[in-house]
Structure 1
Amino acid sequence: MTNESTAKPLFKTFNSDKLNLPNRTVMAPMTRGFSPGNVPDENVAAYYRRRAENEVGLIITEGTGINHPSSVSGAGIPLFHGEEALSGWAEVVKEVHEAGGKIAPQLWHVGMTRSKGDVPNEEAEPVGPSGLNLDGEQVNEPMSIGEVEEIVQSYAEAAAEAKRLGFDAIEIHGAHGYLIDQFFWKQTNQRTDRYGGDFTDRMQFAVEIVEACRQEVGEDFPVIFRFSQWKMNDYKAKLVDTPDELDRFLKRLTEAGVDIFHCSTRRFWEPEFEGSDLNLAGWTKKLSGKPVISVGSVGLDGVFTDFSGAGKANLDGLVDKIDNEEFDLVAIGRSLLMDPEWVKKVQEGRTDDLLAFSKDALHKLY
């Protein structure tokens, strides 16, 4: 098991032009559903504070719903609009900062993964670029241009609120088959207007969101963008098949204003393209020159999309990749879900004390 000295690369400071962190660890965004009435309460604030107290470099919150009736699906999913929810988030920021941590909200719209009749707002219909769900089934009419533009503005408003509340960055969720990713993916985006077409044209929605957020927060505020190849219903799905396609994808988002890319994979150690050991984050850093966050089953021997439980795994391969500067930051998910002290234990070489992930962790805010 990794000891204190071999884990040192994880605990180097991270300094970029807009974000400085005490180490290379990030709490991955994980949907919890513990916000009563879609409002984060004192239990949610304490949950995030515990991670800050235990040396997590940057906390990225669970997905939070932008101001649109069908942005989220679930009674306990926190919103990021309205006086009550924003007051709750202000308390979260206060607790995390008091503990010496840094935090970014993940701004989210689930799009066509929402089912008709879901709470909150049971009357709100799911929306997507072409009204197609992830299996390609026609559920609704395509979004109108006006609806698309309205959602772009809602992301911008959420970004402005995040800065006003004192968050240290924002993350835009463009991964896993949710709304932004539904515009990227040809299976769910069959539009023929400016939001559809070939691969780079299908990026227009995301580009406008990033640009609108950047305009609201100014040049010095960090904007993180999360993307993935895989979708919730298709782990083998691909947005891009070659480094050249990935390069085109990254260029448009970089030009729009992304500062850091959060590259979501199921297993961080898997190479992305043939002929290279680099994972998706490694390729993203090589091609874009931007700081990157890698994620995927860190510290565990089971793939993160399997929530049945997992044992502890050796961290040597992860540390080697950070030491080789393949990626800059590493997001830890289930390991931190169960064990708020995970980062501190690794830093102090107490790896025998690390807790393995159990599905019980999903039912409680540890």
Structure 2
Amino acid sequence: MASRPLFNAPAPNVPYFVPRQYPPAGTAFDPQPHGKPVPTLFRPLKIRGVEFQNRIFLAPLCQYSSENGVVSPWQLVHLGGIFTHGPGLTLTEATAVLPEGRISPEDAGIWTDEQATAWAQVVQFAHSQNQKIGIQLAHAGRKASTAAPWVAATGTVPFIAGGWPDEVLGPTDEPHQPDFPTPKALSKEGITRIVKGFVDAAKRSIRAGFDVIEIHGAHGFLISSFYAPASNTRTDEYGGSFENRIRLAIEVVDAVRAVIPPTTPLFFRLSATDWLKDEQGPRWRSEDSVRLSRVLAEHGVDFIDVSTGGLSAATQMSPLASGAGYQVPFAADIKAALGDKVFVGAVGGINEGKFAQSILDEGKADAVLVGRMFQKNPGFVWKLADDLDVELHQSSQIGWPFQGRAKKAAK
């Protein structure tokens, strides 16, 4: 009997050698070796033309590690260390669509071809590992020209330190908080420029090879500062009524959906509540997010990524807003209202496999997004699998010491 050729197959379509990964890391063995069914957390999820091997997604994590918007080897190492362990989807940090849309001078961007080329190298490596990667497109609005959080918790970065305090934009000239830059109220022409910035960034993202596009409409950045009544006191067609305040969000969604392939999933991250109290004036509530989500779904958004907060320094969060799953009820509200009309992601303090699985079992969301736990443990998918006694395929270089020849030798 002829022996099998000893051939370490290469990943296709890569200008360097890395071993082929099939199936991708993070895929559950089906059937499981112990005969138990695969839990929903580790079952594939298909959205438009993209299938994710499990329902654990990496949430965007700002890194403040780029120069002139161009990502560095840091992003390749940071993200690569995570997606080689197999989340169903890896989302990049908030990536600015225009230079003034950065949070800090060191934010990533995609308003130039040079920036897109740098991102393409990260995408290429993700695809060499048979992994899916998405980009979060963002404009920081009135929270721009500020510092990386380990440099200063608040405050304006001046021109001399690379900031742009006189070019910060918002729905009005009201700053996010007193020591932040005073924004310029966007004109209609300025809004048109913003929408075009998202469109051009989406086109570059598709050319760079990203599998998913996410629009950042949360955390008090530009889009959410328009839809939230506490920060938008305009009296034109972009202010006042609910329909007017969500106009920018819908214009961006429509414009981006029109220029990306019909097979590409479009995600939208929103802040489901601003955590303000009634006595603090007009506020954005969970029922408003349900209403917005319904409109977004009608305009081609496939996935609502449900976060909260970030709008105001006057925020008074619930005493429960620091525990496991504190934002999950807001995702559940949207899922209950929209059902199968849109996919919903829950995020916030999801740190254990049985808890993550319960979110899906109870119909509160279709996927979970995890951020800080991946910072602490890039192999967090594996940890969740261990919690549920699920056997996973791993990247060959990572998994081989735990099985096969090495496993036999250890006995």
TM-score range, shorter chain: 0.7 to 0.9
Secondary structure of residue in 1 paired with 2:296: helix
Assess if the C-alpha contact under 8 Å between 2:276 and 2:283 holds in 1. no
Structure 1 gap segments, 5+ residues each: 273-277, 300-313, 352-366
Larger radius of gyration: 2
Spell out structure 1 runs of 4+ moving beyond 6 A: 4-7, 235-238
Q: Give the match for residue 119 of structure 2.
A: 89
Cα deviation for residue 269 of structure 1 reads 3.2
Q: Give matches, 1:111-122, under 5 Å.
A: 111-114=141-144, 115=156, 117=158, 120=162, 122=164
Aligned to 1:25: 56
> Counterpart of 1:333?
371
One-letter code of the match for 1:16? Answer: I
Residue 153 (structure 2) aligns with: none
Q: CA deviation at 1:47?
A: 1.8
What number of residue pairs does the alignment pair up? 324
- The alignment status of 1:177 with 2:229, answered yes or no, reads no
Percent sequence identity over matched residues?
27
Q: Is the 8 A contact 1:268 1:294 kept in 2?
A: no
TM-score w.r.t. length of structure 1: 0.81
Residues in 1 aligned to 2:291 and 2:63: alpha-carbon distance in whole angstroms: 34
Quote the residue 1:281 is aligned against: 331
1:293 aligns with 2:293: no
Shift of 1:117: 2.5
Whole-angstrom CA distance in 1 between matches of 2:166 and 2:119: 24
The SS at the match of 1:279 is helix
| Corresponding letter in the other structure for 1:281 | A
- Match in the other structure for 1:361: none
Question: Structure 2: where are the runs of 5+ without partners?
Answer: 1-33, 145-155, 309-320, 390-411
CA distance in 2: counterparts of 1:292 and 1:52, whole angstroms: 21
> Residues 235, 92 of structure 1: CA spacing in aligned structure 2 closer, same or farther, 3 A cutoff?
farther
What are the superposed Cα offsets for residues 7-28 of structure 1, whole Å, 9 maximum, x if unpaired? 8332111123343100011000
Alignment of 1:189-268 (within 5 A): 189-231=232-274, 240-241=284-285, 243=287, 245-265=288-308
CA RMSD of aligned residues (A): 2.7
- The CA distance in 1 between the partners of 2:347 and 2:58, in whole Å, is 10
Which range moved further: 259-268 or 171-180?
A: 259-268
Q: Which residue of 2 aligns with 1:14?
A: 45
Letter in 1 for 2:366: D
In structure 1, give the amino acid aligned to 2:108: P
Deviation at 1:335, TM superposition (A): 0.5
The offset of 1:251, in angstroms, is 2.2
Change (3 A) 1:151 1:120: farther
Cα 1:235/1:77, change in 2 over 3 Å: farther
Q: Post-superposition shift, 1:131?
A: 1.8
- Confirm or deny: 8 A CA contact 1:268 1:279 kept in the other structure: no
